[in-house]
Structure 1
Amino acid sequence: MPEKKRHHRYYDLILAAFVVVLLCSNFIGAGKAAVIHLPYFGEFVYGAGILFFPISYFFGDILTEVYGYAYDRRAVWAGFAALAFAAIMAQIVIALPSGPGAYMESYQHGMEVVFGNSWRVATASMIAFWSGSFVNSYVLAKLKIKTQGRYLWMRAIGSTAVGELVDSSLFYMLAFYGLWPTNEVIQVAFAQYFLKTSWEILATPLTYLVVNFLKRKENEDYYDTDTNFTPFRVKV
């Protein structure tokens, strides 16, 4: 008789929040290079989406730590599908003939400026996010077994550092190479990696709080001892 799947009270909510954060951070913030003036360092250029995108890795750590690699893998594929749909929708809406009048003409121009490159941004984001997220989850799951569930702070920060390195190395080169000056692409990529990893360090107390809450409420603390780590499936 097949084993009955456990019902998790909060997994669907975390999955939905994960997809929302992923979509918003990629389509609202990723295309803007913002600048901040730092004492002694001068202008520091960074991608605006960097303020929110690390939340997706925060959710990924929580999903892997509490529910296991397979549940995070399903969330990654859900986010991947959402990004693909958003990119296709953006291109279709832009391609539709706009209504008459100055307002619609201006609106159409604005959409082309903001979302005209969305296919490239979405493609780069999907490749980078897919690769980085699976690396992050895999490293976290393996470290959990290696450390026998101890040192969550080290595992969360370490896995994010590795996953974000893959993500940051891919995203800005694929999305903006040839559109932005090359030195700006490299600068923003480095800034993204540094800030995302720093965000994970600062979020460590919150990670402990949420993970401990979920483990207690769900009565779950999964170890991926017999997990098939292939990324090419959604079964849990």
Structure 2
Amino acid sequence: MSEARSHHRYYDLLLATFVVVLLCSNFIGAGKVAQLDLPYFGNVIFGAGILFFPIAYLFGDILTEVYGYAYDRRAVWMGFAALAFAAIMAQITIALPVAPGSYMAQYQQGMELVFGNSWRVVIASMLAFWSGSFINAYVMAKMKIWTRGRFLWMRTIGSTAVGELIDSSLFYFIAFYGIWSTHEVIAVALAQYVLKTAWEVLATPLTYWIIGFLKRKEAADYYDIHTNFTPFRVKV
């Protein structure tokens, strides 16, 4: 068990990758609702952001397990700041006057369609991410202490199940309640929750490999025994 807070070779790389994945999940996949006909489940409606967003929770599990809650907390705040900056700049870019010409008129329409999410959706996305990520990290850290570092699969799946429940519930009810029918909101939120949690289960072997690699290379395996779990700080 490593208690020292020292420089880590791979943390910055993980942080940058985490932020990229988070931005992709919100600006590439969030606006599209897809449908697949799955065996035993029938037609399942889900947001295309599911291709990206569960990876963010995988990063949260890895950062908390190897480096500790404080390092994941810093990553969450960096992701939150990146989402806020991207949302503001998207709105500013859309609001700029468009140059004349049919091409730019069509380009403007495309930008408004892809990046012109209502502020309700933006706020829902950011609040859901912030809440779900911190809860995921908190549960992961506490379970590591309770299990004395054993049963990694139980900790990664259990923490993700709790975090994703908060995330999916907050996002769809804040963003679409009153716009979609209550049945649609619940159905899509439930489908997202089940698919995201299933994604974590399937990714367990990959999670094991990455965590094992990082623990060996970083000589780090942090236990949050004396950690201040307030989310309102970035200090490690």
TM above 0.5:
yes
Whole-angstrom distance in 1 between the partners of 2:179 and 2:103 = 28
How far apart, CA to CA, are the structure 2 residues paired with 1:168 and 1:107?
A: 32
Deviation at 1:156, TM superposition (A): 0.6
Aligned twin of 1:162: 162
Q: Report if the CA contact (8 A) 1:70-1:235 is conserved.
A: yes
8 Å CA contact 1:91–1:119 kept in 2: the answer is: no
Question: Per the alignment, in what secondary structure is the counterpart of residue 36 of structure 2?
Answer: strand
Which deviates the most, 82-91 or 3-12? 3-12
Tell me the amino acid that sits aligned with residue 21 of structure 1: V
Partners of 1:23 and 1:83 within 8 A in 2: yes
| Counterpart-to-counterpart distance in 1, 2:197 and 2:4 | 38
Relative to structure 1, is the Cα distance of residues 42 and 147 closer, same or farther in structure 2, using a 3 angstrom cutoff? closer
Q: Secondary structure at the match of 1:9?
A: coil
- Letter of the 1:139 counterpart: V
Q: Aligned ranges for residues 1-236 of structure 1 at < 5 Å?
A: 5-39=5-39, 41-236=41-236
Offset at residue 5 of structure 1 (A): 4.5
CA contact (8 A) 1:88 1:119 kept: no
Once structures 1 and 2 are overlaid, which stretch shifts more, 39-48 or 206-215?
39-48
Q: Alpha-carbon deviations, 1:189-226, whole Å to 9, x = none?
A: 11110000000100111111000100000000000000
For 1:7 and 1:71, the matched residues in 2 are separated by: 11
CA distance in 2, matches of 1:209, 1:172: 33
What is the letter of the counterpart of residue 212 of structure 1? G
Deviations 1:6-33, CA, capped at 9 Å, x for gaps: 1100000000010000000111101110
Normalising by the residue count of structure 1, what TM-score does the alignment of the two structures yield?
0.95
1:118/1:211 CA distance change after superposition, 3 Å: farther
Give the Cα separation in 1 of the matches to 2:187 and 2:31: 15
1-structure distance, mates of 2:41, 2:165? 23
Distance in 2 (alpha carbons) for counterparts of 1:130 and 1:207: 22
CA separation in 2, counterparts of 1:157 and 1:126?
Answer: 23
Unaligned 5+ segments in structure 2 are none
Q: What is the CA distance between 1:182 and its match in structure 2?
A: 3.5
2:227 is aligned with what amino acid? T
* SS of residue paired to 2:46: strand
- Describe the SS at the equivalent of 1:35: strand
Shift of 1:175: 2.1
- Deviations, residues 109-154 of structure 1 (Å, cap 9, x unaligned): 1111222225333211110010000000000100101110000000
| Identity in percent | 77
Deviation, structure 1 residue 177: 2.9
Contact 1:69/1:137 (CA < 8 Å) preserved in 2?
yes
CA 1:39/1:122 → structure 2, altered by over 3 Å: closer, same or farther? Answer: same
CA distance, structure 1, for counterparts of residue 48 and residue 6 of structure 2 = 39
Contact 1:90–1:118 (8 Å) recurs in 2:
no
Determine helix, strand or coil for the equivalent of 1:29. Answer: coil
Aligned with 1:76: secondary structure? helix
In 2: Cα distance, 1:7 partner to 1:40 partner: 49
Q: In structure 2, what is the Cα distance between the partners aligned to 1:17 and 1:84?
A: 17
Partner SS state of residue 85, structure 2: helix
Residue ranges of structure 1 left out of the alignment (5+ in a row): none
TM-score, with structure 2 as normaliser: 0.95
RMSD of aligned alpha carbons: 1.5
Relative to structure 1, the CA distance from residue 93 to residue 208 in structure 2 (aligned partners, 3 Å threshold; closer, same or farther) is same
